[in-house]
Amino acid sequence: MNPFLFKAHPLLQTTIGCVTGSGCSSGVWVGLLTAYLLLNLPLAVFTLLRVKRLLHIRLRFTAAYLVSLPVTILFIPNVLTLLSDVMHHAFKLENRVIFLFALFVATVLLAALVGNLVHYRNGEPIRSEHGLTVVLNLLLACVPYSLLLLSADALIGVLPGH
């Protein structure tokens, strides 16, 4: 059994299903893509603010949006799954070791990506150390954002995949 699908949030199940090509129609693709593009808006604003405060770099909104889009796709479904486990008192480390390791690897890869995408005014990239700082800030921002999404999804069903 796929360890990512063990009691996974429906958004993560739908995402993995569409990426692997198992029973994903064009309507589901469009809904999933729209959801990720809309979920990325608050994280793009947060990226703008954090990069300005941490690194004293003023990014354009489109650059911040493109930098935070992979973070949204990789972190939000995973954090939703972990938080739903915690909220239902069902989190067991032995069930989520591979999951947490994948989250760690995604964090390091995103740090390298952000470190190469964001540049200082003189054209020099911020490097992976500062990229890791930005990505860890975004990961921490995903926790309350995911809690808000879980509560909104429970009330009015805002996330696709149900």
Q: pLDDT value at position 1? A: 59
Band of pLDDT at residue 137, cut at 50, 70 and 90: very high
How does pLDDT run across 52-64, given as a tens digit for each residue? 999 999 999 999 9
| Lookup: tokens for 23 | 């029973």
**Is the per-residue pLDDT at 161 higher than 70?**
no
Contact 126, 132 (CB under 8 A): no
Q: Is the pLDDT of residue 126 over 70?
A: yes
As a whole number of angstroms, the distance between CA 142 and CA 131 comes to 16
Candidates 61, 56, 42; CA nearest to 138 is: 42
pLDDT of residue 162: 60
| Average pLDDT of the segment spanning 107-119 | 93
Mean pLDDT over all residues of the chain? 89
Whole-angstrom distance, CA of residue 103 vs CA of residue 97 = 10
* 142 confidence band (pLDDT: 50, 70, 90): very high
Closest CA to 27 of 14, 43, 44: 14
Bridge partners for 100 per DSSP = none
